[in-house]
Amino acid sequence: MKDGLPPAYLAYRGLWSLLHGTLLVLGAVLLALWWFDGSNGAHLVADWWTWASRVQSAVFRSVSFPWD
């Protein structure tokens, strides 16, 4: 696959892969630090669960079943 490709392209691709991987790892570390600091993750999950329960309840109340 490397046949015919200029060396500059291979260097650019390698540097981009390294930079991209570094940014992804840094983002994951920052997300993990935020998640566990001050119970942010627990609050996020609890808020999502409350929202999902309200949506489920609203859909349940708005759909009429034939046997009701």
- Rounded Cα distance, 20 and 43, in Å: 30
Give percent of the chain above pLDDT 90: 66
**Is residue 64 pLDDT above 70, yes or no?**
yes
Q: How confident is the model at residue 2 (pLDDT cuts 50, 70, 90)?
A: low
What is the rounded average pLDDT for all residues in the chain? Answer: 91
Tell whether pTM > 0.75.
no
Give the model's pLDDT for residue 25. 98
Helices (H), the chain: 7-36, 40-62
Give the model's pLDDT for residue 38. 85
Residue spans of the domains in the chain: they are 7-62
Helices 7-36 and 40-62 sit at what angle, rounded to 10 degrees? 80
Tell me the residue type at 46.
A
**Is residue 8 pLDDT above 80, yes or no?**
yes
Tell me the residue type at 35.
W
